Amino acid sequence: MNKRWVTLMAIATMATTMLSACGGDKEEKKNAAPEDLNSKLEVSWLNILHTASPPTDTIKSLLEEYTNSKITFNWVPDASKEERITTALASGELADIVTLTMMTNSSVRSSLKSGLFWDVGPYLSEFSNLAKIAPELKEAASIEGVLYGVPFQKNLARSGLIFRKDWLDKLGLPVPKTLDEVYEVARAFTEDDPDGNGVKDTTGFGDRSELKYSSFKTLSSYFGTPNGWKVEDSGKFIPEFDTQEYIDTMNFSRKLYENGYLAQDFAVTAKTDQQQQFAQGKTGIYTGMVDISSLRTLAQDLQPGMELVPVNKISNGDGQYHIWSEGSGIGGLMAFPKSEVKTEAELKRLLKFVNDLIDEKAFMLMTGGIEGTHYEYDENGAFKILNTELWQADVQPFSSSRPSEIAYTLKDANPEKQLANELIRENDKFAVLDPTVPLDSATNNEQGTELQKIITDATFKYIMGQSDEAAFKKAVQTWKDSGGTKITEEYEAAYKLTQK
């Protein structure tokens, strides 16, 4: 072997060693040493998009600067998230961070339990913001005691109704406090020409093609329906749709529909269309107080005289208040697949990134944008958007990606939005939790999504007058026979273990 060959071999060996030490390929570059949590991070994020278009790079660049990272977003439109996320889970086409919001989806739960994602529970205490996540929130976000991602922290219950206040005033109606008053408002908004144009072209309730985020779930809360499941003192589980309160809600909704007080096309209407109908003055009642600013923005050029009032407390006449809680304050998980995040060191660097997103600086970037450009504080210290169109393009898509919506409280300059925020916080006092959130059922993981379609279809048919109570109860029995009974038994067994 000649001297030149020996020299070349030595150089090659040295180069290989240096590449290995410095992270010569993409995988090694991502794997920061455990003590190097401030190193530059390249992170891919499979995330849900709740707006019509992805954001510009304006805020993304500032977030990258603040978190010392380069972020590649793979945006999934909210309308197609179920198909896209389940396909990604099945194919393994994932990212460093995967936003999972469908925590009751059978494919999602099965993937979580399969060991596809890291258990982050043991690491949260190492990071200042993540360490502050309340124990009950971590418990609610866990499956059989394992936390498969950083929970998105939200208020316990954000639901409620929004009414056209200007229509109420024109018709001499008070803001409703009971279900009977809600029905009367829906009737008047349909029959009494609330917009004063002399044409019968308005409907009380706008709605959309789902049970959970439509008027039905909120109305069912007002009737006292359990949230998902009722747990008797004996530990027996009863699904919400097998209760009298659920039947009462269906009868109420059916009466609204039969009389034309509920949008006749609700079963085929998407959320965006529901919002447009409200903004165009076609409907006067909207479900979801959290959307009050979006409705105001959509209507600003269409309904210049529109006034809105959010309402969170509606009783069935007994003076008691109930509102369903989605996920017990958990909006899903920021999960880290082991196929992409291969080492503990890499996981910790990603957790540091998420921790930084909860800092006030990052929170404000994802909420308001740049002070003086997108927002300002008025003389009363209230938060105010300066340029709505610019804010929508640059900032709004990031708001649903904040790891915590409750870390900081802003006073909103819009009194309607400020009231809605206060009512959402007040909902914590009478929020009804779903007892199965921290529990697991293998059958529900495998069949739950498909089985729910039986109930959804049966409920819609009943509301639209296409079936009767006997047919609905037959559908419930079909649910039980097709796996529902097994789901019930598995939840009861899992609940029993938590009571020891």
Distance separating alpha carbons of residues 424 and 323, to the nearest angstrom: 10
Which are the contacts of 144, defined by CB distance < 8 A and separation ≥ 6?
113, 439, 440, 494
On whether residue 270 sits in a domain, the answer given is yes
Distance separating alpha carbons of residues 346 and 441, to the nearest angstrom: 31
On whether residue 92 sits in a domain, the answer given is yes
Q: What is the pLDDT of residue 355?
A: 98
Mean pLDDT of 189-218: 95
pLDDT at 188 over 70: yes
95-144 pLDDT tens trace: 999 999 988 787 898 899 899 999 999 999 999 999 999 998 998 899 88
pLDDT at 74 over 70: yes
Q: Are residues 310 and 386 in the same domain?
A: no
pLDDT at 14 over 50: no
On whether residue 263 sits in a domain, the answer given is yes
146 φ/ψ angles, rounded to the nearest 5 degrees = -110, 130
Which are the contacts of 477, defined by CB distance < 8 A and separation ≥ 6?
none
pLDDT band for position 191 (cuts 50, 70, 90): very high
Mean pLDDT of 42-63: 96
Distance separating alpha carbons of residues 176 and 163, to the nearest angstrom: 9
Q: What is the pLDDT of residue 338?
A: 97
319 φ/ψ angles, rounded to the nearest 5 degrees = 80, 5
Identify any residues that bridge with 315 across adjacent strands, giving them in sequence order.
178
Of 21-25, 89-93, 132-136, 156-160, the one with minimum mean pLDDT is 21-25
- Residue type for position 492: E
On whether residue 459 sits in a domain, the answer given is yes
Tell me which H or E stretch contains 283: strand 283-287
From 43, 49, 97, 166, select the one nearest 333 (Cα to Cα): 97
415-467 pLDDT tens trace: 999 999 999 999 999 999 999 988 889 899 889 989 999 999 999 999 999 99
Q: What is the pLDDT of residue 154?
A: 92
Q: Are residues 260 and 355 in the same domain?
A: no
> Strands (DSSP E) along 113-231, which ranges?
150-153, 161-164, 203-205, 229-231
On whether residue 472 sits in a domain, the answer given is yes
Q: Are residues 192 and 306 in the same domain?
A: yes
The structural domain count of the chain equals 3
pLDDT band for position 315 (cuts 50, 70, 90): very high
Q: Are residues 262 and 295 in the same domain?
A: yes
458-500 pLDDT tens trace: 999 999 999 999 999 999 999 999 999 999 999 999 999 888 7
Q: What is the pLDDT of residue 144?
A: 83
On whether residue 21 sits in a domain, the answer given is no
Q: Are residues 38 and 72 in the same domain?
A: yes
- CATH code at 143? 3.40.190.10
Mean pLDDT of 301-317: 94
Q: Are residues 359 and 476 in the same domain?
A: no
Cβ(329)–Cβ(140) under 8 Å? yes
pLDDT at 257 over 90: yes
Q: Are residues 421 and 389 in the same domain?
A: no
Q: Are residues 173 and 316 in the same domain?
A: yes
Distance separating alpha carbons of residues 408 and 419, to the nearest angstrom: 17
For the chain, give the mean pLDDT.
91
Q: What is the pLDDT of residue 35?
A: 58
Distance separating alpha carbons of residues 489 and 79, to the nearest angstrom: 33
> Strands (DSSP E) along 288-339, which ranges?
308-311, 323-324, 330-335
Q: What angle do CA 135, 365, 383 make, to 5 degrees?
A: 90
On whether residue 355 sits in a domain, the answer given is yes
Distance separating alpha carbons of residues 466 and 448, to the nearest angstrom: 25
Two structure tokens written together for 476: 């419930």
Cβ(246)–Cβ(225) under 8 Å? yes
Q: Are residues 144 and 165 in the same domain?
A: no
Range of the domain at 338: 26-154+331-397
Q: Are residues 261 and 346 in the same domain?
A: no
Of 4-18, 96-110, 145-159, 295-309, the one with minimum mean pLDDT is 4-18
pLDDT band for position 335 (cuts 50, 70, 90): very high
Cα-only R_g, the chain: 25
Q: Are residues 293 and 358 in the same domain?
A: no
On whether residue 234 sits in a domain, the answer given is no
Q: Are residues 164 and 299 in the same domain?
A: yes
Strand order, beta sheet including 41-49: 69-77, 41-49, 97-100, 330-335, 150-153
